[in-house]
Structure formats: structure tokens, C-alpha cells
Amino acid sequence: MDTEEFRVRGKEMVDYICDYMNGLGSRPVYPSIEPGFLTNLIPSQAPDEPEDWDAIMADVDSKIMKGVCHWQHPRFHAYFPSGNSYPSIIADMLSDAIGSIAFSWVSITAPCGFNLNNFKVD
């Protein structure tokens, strides 16, 4: 995936996420599946060649989403809410793009992230 395709697919993903979030109420809260339900739905080995992005997203819709417990569903009141507001999702995108692992100052992998984390925790 080059930069231009990333721009296109990224915009498509934002639309997909918005449609998902806006349509949560029409989905079942919890999937009606059995353990191992994916075994016969996906290949046992990764493909040798890259798959078309549209085919991947079709698999997400037709196979993966069948097994998702929708934590943000308006009728899901178990456990605890997860941070997936739109600002949180955008922040995750930026954090993933930077790609630093902020586990210690000494490692010099992410001095800013390490300091920001300590500042917010304190």
C-alpha cells in the first residue's frame, strides 16, 4: 500500500467506522457462535500473495463481525466501557503512525511519550 492508496483506504475506513458506530443498535449485542466458528470460514494458512483490500473488508463484514461482542452497543452493560470515542480513535491513529514504544526514558525510544505518560499518571 503506497501513500495514495493509504489516503483512499484511510478515508474509507473512517466511513466504515462511522457506519459501524451509527449502526450498533441494529446489531446483536453478543454473537450467537460456538468456539472455533472461524475454523471453516478462513484459510488455515496465510495467502502467499497479498489480497485485495476490498476482499479483506468483505471478510471482515461476513466472517469477523459474526464473532464480535459489540462493547459500545447501547444494550451492552457488562464489564466497563472502552475508550473508542471519535477523538480516541483519531489519537490512536496518530500514536500508531508515530510508532514509538514508551516503556522507559533510558531506552530513548520515546522520551516525550514516557514523560507525557508520567505527567498524566502523577
- The CA distance from 20 to 70, in Å, is 10
- The CA distance from 80 to 63, in Å, is 26
Taking residues 90-95, report their average pLDDT.
89
- Concatenating the DSSP letter of every residue in 27-94 gives S-SS----TTTTTTTS-SS--SSPPPHHHHHHHIIIIIGGG---TT-TT--SS-----SHHHHHHHHH
Q: What is the pLDDT of residue 50?
A: 92
Our count of domains for the chain comes to: 2
**Whether residue 54 is found in the same domain as residue 75:** yes
Domain containing 50 — which CATH number? Answer: 1.20.1340.10
The answer, yes or no, to whether residue 82 has pLDDT greater than 80, is: no
DSSP reduced 3-state for 15: helix
Overall residue count recorded for the chain in this entry: 122
The answer, yes or no, to whether residue 23 has pLDDT greater than 70, is: yes
Given a contact cutoff of 8 angstroms between Cβ atoms, the answer to whether 109 and 103 are in contact is yes
**Whether residue 18 is found in the same domain as residue 39:** yes
Mean model confidence pLDDT for the chain: 86
Q: Look up the domain containing 77 and give its range.
A: 1-82
